[in-house]
Amino acid sequence: MHLIGLRGMSREKMVGLLDAAEKFLDPQGKVTTPSEDRALLKGKTLALLFMEPSTRTRVSFEIAVQRLGGEVVTVSAEGSSVKKGESAADTCRTLASMGVDGFVVRHHDRQLPHVLVDRLKVPIINAGNGSGEHPTQGLLDALTLRRHFQTGEDLSGLKVAIMGDIVHSRVARSDAHAFSTLGAEVTLVGPRMLLPSDDRTEDWPATITNSRKDALRWADAVVVLRIQQERIHGNLIDAHEYAMNWGIDTSVVNGYMTPDTMILHPGPVIRGVELSDPVVDSDRSLILNQVTNGVALRQAVLKSYFN
Ligand code: CP
């Protein structure tokens, strides 16, 4: 009923969602909605409660709800009574009392999705809870890898590096759980202060390295992450220094990566920091494929959790 995280989700459930998402992509890879699915959410209203900024997740959920025939209301901190001090949980209870049939929620509080599951009787989809999880991103990244590398049902045999600010990233955690559950080998790579302290844990099912060169030589694909400055308390990371040591530009690509190594990024990309302009726009970038696949995947999630 609820989609809060990918930790603990079975391989079968993940494969089922990826297979369902494929049905919302045409042979050219464009998003499509088969006629039999266009009224799936008819008569239902979903609330998107986005208390942190978002472009991709929020808009793709809005599009996905509308394509399936549902109504959507979007509530952000600005302009809502949250600004006057109402809690996000009370805002959701208020909307549920108006007859909202489910929630897609982004909030800095890692506990909020769990609180909503306890208090509300409608489906809750987590669209990012602080540094917790971002399950639809993990699934759409898995879908993007599966489609590009044609790995079959899951990601067995694939080697994926997740690079950058790992400890503050909900995408890193959901990606690591998705990829490892689907059979890929996963390594986390970045500066020591942005890496988890232990590898192969229940929280981080992956190996860990702080060698950019080793990780990029090893990987079939690298998921590059933004520095989550908004979640770093104390010393911020110097963007110029980070770009020098951890950014991927053409010389890094040519020096360490094979011609077939692909680059993913959940966005937003800070050009010139984690990726240079030419690399973002190169043929090895799957960034816009991720965005397209995100709409299909979210249609599949809505179909599964709201039907
Ligand atoms: N990937 C992602 O969550 O992007 P947005 O913050 O734009 O939704």
Residue nearest atom 6 of ligand 1, based on CA coordinates: 54
What are the mean pLDDT values of the chain's consecutive 10-residue runs (307 residues total)?
A: 97 98 98 97 97 97 98 93 92 96 97 97 97 97 98 97 96 98 98 90 94 97 91 78 94 97 97 97 98 98 93
Residue nearest atom 5 of ligand 1, based on CA coordinates: 54
Exposed/middle/buried for 13, CB within 10 Å: 0-12, 13-18, 19+?
middle
Residue reference for tokens 């043929």: 283
Which residues does a 6 A CB cutoff place in the pocket of ligand 1? 54-58, 128, 134, 137, 266-268
Task: Give the DSSP letter of residue 24.
Answer: T
Q: Report residue 13: phi and psi, to 5°.
A: -65, -45
Residue reference for tokens 């699915």: 37
Q: Tell me how far the alpha carbon of residue 59 lies from the centroid of ligand 1, in angstroms.
A: 9
What pTM, to 2 d.p., does this model score?
A: 0.96
CATH superfamily of 135-286: Aspartate/ornithine carbamoyltransferase (3.40.50.1370)
In whole angstroms, how far apart are CA 31 and each of 49, 264, 268, 300? 24, 19, 21, 11
| CATH 3.40.50.1370 placement within the chain | 11-133+291-306, 135-286
Task: Give the DSSP letter of residue 269.
Answer: -
Nearest 5°: CA angle at 248, between 245 and 254? Answer: 110
User: Considering only CA atoms, which of 252, 153, 177 is closest in space to residue 10?
Assistant: 177
Predicted pLDDT of residue 6: 98
Predicted pLDDT of residue 102: 97
In whole angstroms, how far apart are CA 52 and each of 18, 179, 189, 300? 27, 26, 26, 24
Predicted pLDDT of residue 25: 98
Predicted pLDDT of residue 236: 73
Q: Report residue 91: phi and psi, to 5°.
A: -60, -45
Q: Does domain 11-133+291-306 have CATH number 3.30.830.10?
A: no
- Rounded Cα distance between 254 and 27, Å, is 32
Predicted pLDDT of residue 231: 75
